[in-house]
Amino acid sequence: DTGVSQNPRHKITKRGQNVTFRCDPISEHNRLYWYRQTLGQGPEFLTYFQNEAQLEKSRLLSDRFSAERPKGSFSTLEIQRTEQGDSAMYLCASSLAGQGTEAFFGQGTRLTVV
Amino acid sequence: QQPVQSPQAVILREGEDAVINCSSSKALYSVHWYRQKHGEAPVFLMILLKGGEQKGHEKISASFNEKKQQSSLYLTASQLSYSGTYFCGTELQTGANNLFFGTGTRLTVIP
């Protein structure tokens, strides 16, 4: 399968714990995006990378959130000291660089903070 | 910056047509349309670029009015498989490159 892959698919964690999600983009795509989606809403942009450089971060991304893409391939999104409000689906998407390019989404990681 | 979609929900019988609208208050470079089924990832349908270029789905058509910053998705002769939530994602002309998504239109096709 050459689509965008995300792991794990589901994560249940206790409030205050740290969690890390992984995204493997489509291999030839140099752009990688993280979005968050809550029930009944559209995806909300969190951050994106072009190759290994993190080029933009949303104001939604608090200091507890950090994302990396160390070698310009896979990316990780870490949430420290999770809160119940962090419960959501975390979606990763990838695309080629440039305006007007299609972005393809992974299946997402559903996070539940209890 | 979030676009506004209408209607919020629509129910169709198989074979009927529907139009979903997406409107932005910002100048747009492109509009991307996705369909998401419950519990699944959004699936890319098509992209409409400033200047008229379109890329995407064979059986679904859309339009993009650059002056009004509006796009419409046309679903004709709907099939049961068309059911899902449709999102428009807007790419601003500022070159920010990320997409701003609307709150979605829930489409249900019944036999």
Task: Tell me the pLDDT tens digit for each residue of A21-50.
Answer: 999 999 999 999 999 999 889 999 999 999
Which bin fits A55, alpha (ψ -120 to 50), beta or left (φ > 0)? alpha
Interval B30-42: pLDDT, tens: 899 999 998 888 9
Interval B5-29: pLDDT, tens: 999 999 999 999 999 999 999 888 8
Residue B89 to chain A, least CA–CA distance (Å):
9
Do the Cβ atoms of B96 and A56 come within 8 Å? yes
* H/E segment holding residue B29: strand B28-36
Which pLDDT belongs to residue B52?
Answer: 74
The set of residues, in sequence order, having a beta carbon less than 8 Å from that of A38 and lying 6+ positions away, is A44, A87, A88, A89
Average pLDDT over every residue of B75-95: 89
The set of residues, in sequence order, having a beta carbon less than 8 Å from that of A1 and lying 6+ positions away, is none
Chain B residues touching chain A at CB-CB below 8 Å: 2, 29-30, 32, 34, 40-44, 47, 49-50, 53, 55-56, 87, 89, 91, 95-104
Residue A114 to chain B, least CA–CA distance (Å):
20
Burial of residue A58 (number of CB atoms within 10 Å: 0-12, 13-18, 19+): middle
Which pLDDT belongs to residue B94?
Answer: 67
Average pLDDT over every residue of B40-67: 83
Which pLDDT belongs to residue A26?
Answer: 94
Do the Cβ atoms of A41 and B98 come within 8 Å? no
Mean pLDDT, rounded, of chain B? 89
Q: Report the 10 Å Cβ neighbour count for B23.
A: 17
> Which two structure tokens, joined as six digits, stand for B76?
């004709």
Residue type, B31: V
Whether residue A32 lies within 8 A of chain B, CB to CB, comes out as no
Mutate to test the interface with B, among A41, A47, A99 (most CBs of B within 10 A): A99
Q: Length of chain A, please?
A: 114
Which bin fits A35, alpha (ψ -120 to 50), beta or left (φ > 0)? beta
Which pLDDT belongs to residue B12?
Answer: 95
Which pLDDT belongs to residue B33?
Answer: 94
Which pLDDT belongs to residue B58?
Answer: 65
Answer whether residue B81 shows pLDDT above 70: yes
Which pLDDT belongs to residue A99?
Answer: 74
In 3-state terms, what secondary structure has residue B59? coil
Answer whether residue B87 shows pLDDT above 80: yes
Which pLDDT belongs to residue B99?
Answer: 87
Half-sphere exposure of B55 toward its Cβ, with a 13 Å CA cutoff? 12
Q: What is the DSSP letter of B52?
A: S
How do strand B4-6 and strand B18-23 relate by DSSP bridges? antiparallel
Which pLDDT belongs to residue A110?
Answer: 96
Average pLDDT over every residue of B98-107: 92
Q: Report the 10 Å Cβ neighbour count for B61.
A: 15
Q: CA–CA separation, B111 vs B99, rounded Å?
A: 34
Do the Cβ atoms of B103 and A105 come within 8 Å? no
Strand partners, A67: A77
Which pLDDT belongs to residue A1?
Answer: 53
Nearest beta carbon to residue A45 from set B34, B99, B102: B99
A-chain residues near B97 (CB < 8 A): 31, 48, 55-56, 99
The parts of chain A modelled with pLDDT lower than 70 are 1
Which pLDDT belongs to residue A2?
Answer: 74
